[in-house]
Chains A and B, each alone.
Chain A
Amino acid sequence: MALFDALLELADDHLVLGHRLSEWCGHAPMLEEDLAMPNMALDLIGSARTLYDYAGQVEGKGRSEDDLAYLRGEREYRNCLLVERPNRDFAHTMLRQLYFVAFMHPYWTAAADSSDEVIRGVAGKAVKEMAYHIRHAGEWVIRLGDGTEESARRMADAVDDLHLYTGELFEAGAETDDDVLPDRAALQPAWEVTIDHVFGEAGLTRPVIPHPQTGGRTGLHGEDLGHMLADMQSTHRAHPGATW
C-alpha cells in the first residue's frame, strides 16, 4: 500500500491547506483577496480530489474521495505540519502559502515526468497553478516584509512561527517506486532559491533551524488540526451520504 500512503500524504497536504485558505472566505481584509484566497483554495482542493479518488482506486476497498476526506480522524491524516498551522493573520497566511507552493512548484515540475499517468495529469495542471501562487504569496510577503512597521513586525513574527515546520517538507514519506513521485529532499535547493529571492526583497532573513518540527507523516499533529477537521467533517458526519 506504499502508493496509497504516498497519495494520501500528498492529498492531505492539499486538502488541509485548501481548507485553511477557505476559512478566509468572507473574512479577507479586502474584496480582492476574498476572491484570490478561495481561488487558490480551490486549486489545492481540486488536486486533492483527484489524488483521493486515485488513492481510493489504488487501495481497492471501495473508499471514495469523500470517505477519505471526511471519515478519517486526525491520527490518520498524513499532511505535513506546516499546512495545518492556523491562519492567525494575513502575514502568516501568505508566508505559509509561499513556503508550501515554493516546494510544490518544483515537485510538480519533476512529477510531470512521472511513470504514473494520473500523477502526470495532476502535475500538468498544478505546475501552472503553483507558479501563480508563488507570485501572489511572494508579492505579498515582499510588501508586508518591506512595508510599514506593523506589517514588517507581523511578517517577521510569521517567519519565527512557521519556519520551524518547513524542514518536514523535505522529509521522505511513504516509499513508492522510483519514478512515480519525486524525491522530496532533492527539491530543497530549488525551494531555498525561491525563498531567498523573496526574502531578499522583503528584507527578511531565512532562519537556520537545526531541528525542525516534524511528525505529520506519521499522524502526529498539533492540536489545531483536530479542531479544523471537526469543523470540516461535521456536516458530512452528521448527514452521512447527503448530496447537493
Chain B
Amino acid sequence: MANEMPLWEVFIRPRNGLSHKHVGSIHAADEVLALQAARDVYTRRGEGNSIWVVPSSAITASDPEQASENFEPGEKIYRHPTFYDIPEEVGHM
C-alpha cells in the first residue's frame, strides 16, 4: 500500500492574510485525492479556507545529527536587535 498510497504533507491556511501552516499528513493515490482526503481529515470544523498538499518525498529535511551546529548559535547575542536606542517619537515597535 505504501507504493500505491504515498504520503502527503498537509498545510492549511486558517484565514486570509495568514500563512499556510503544517497540520499533519495523509495517504492518497494522487494529488486530487490527497486534497480531498486533507479536506475530509483536517477541515471538518472550519479550520481553514485553503489547503496545500505536498508529496512528503519532495521535502528535504535537516539532519537531526547536525542539530547542534545548525541551531545552537551560542553566545552571539549581537544577532538580537537589542542594542539600539529607539527615539521616543518612533513610539511602540
Contact = CB atoms under 8 A, between A and B. Distances in A.
A136 B36 contact: yes
A30 B5 CA distance: 10
Interface of A: 30-33, 35-36, 39, 135-136, 139-140, 143
A36 B40 contact: yes
Given A35-B40, A143-B30, 9 more contacts: A32-B27, A32-B41, A33-B37, A35-B41, A36-B36, A39-B40, A136-B40, A143-B29, A143-B33
Question: Chain B interface secondary structure, helix, strand, loop or mixed?
Answer: mixed
B76 interface: no
Categorize the interface residue count of chain B: 10 to 19
Interface of B: 1, 5, 26-30, 32-33, 36-37, 40-41, 44
Of B30, B40, B44, the most chain A CB neighbours within 10 A belong to B40
B56 to A, nearest CB: 15
Contacts of B26: 31-32
Top 4 nearest A-B pairs (CB, nearest first) are A32-B37, A36-B40, A35-B40, A35-B41
A77 B47 CA distance: 38
Contacts of A139: 32-33, 36
Contacts of A140: 33
B27 A30 contact: yes
Nearest to B1: A30
B44 A39 contact: yes
Contacts of B27: 30-32
Contacts of A35: 40-41, 44
Contacts of B5: 30
B73 to A, nearest CB: 40
30 contacts: A30-B1, A30-B5, A30-B27, A31-B26, A31-B27, A31-B41, A32-B26, A32-B27, A32-B28, A32-B37, A32-B40, A32-B41, A33-B37, A35-B40, A35-B44, A36-B36, A36-B37, A36-B40, A39-B40, A39-B44, A135-B36, A136-B36, A136-B40, A139-B32, A139-B33, A139-B36, A140-B33, A143-B29, A143-B30, A143-B33
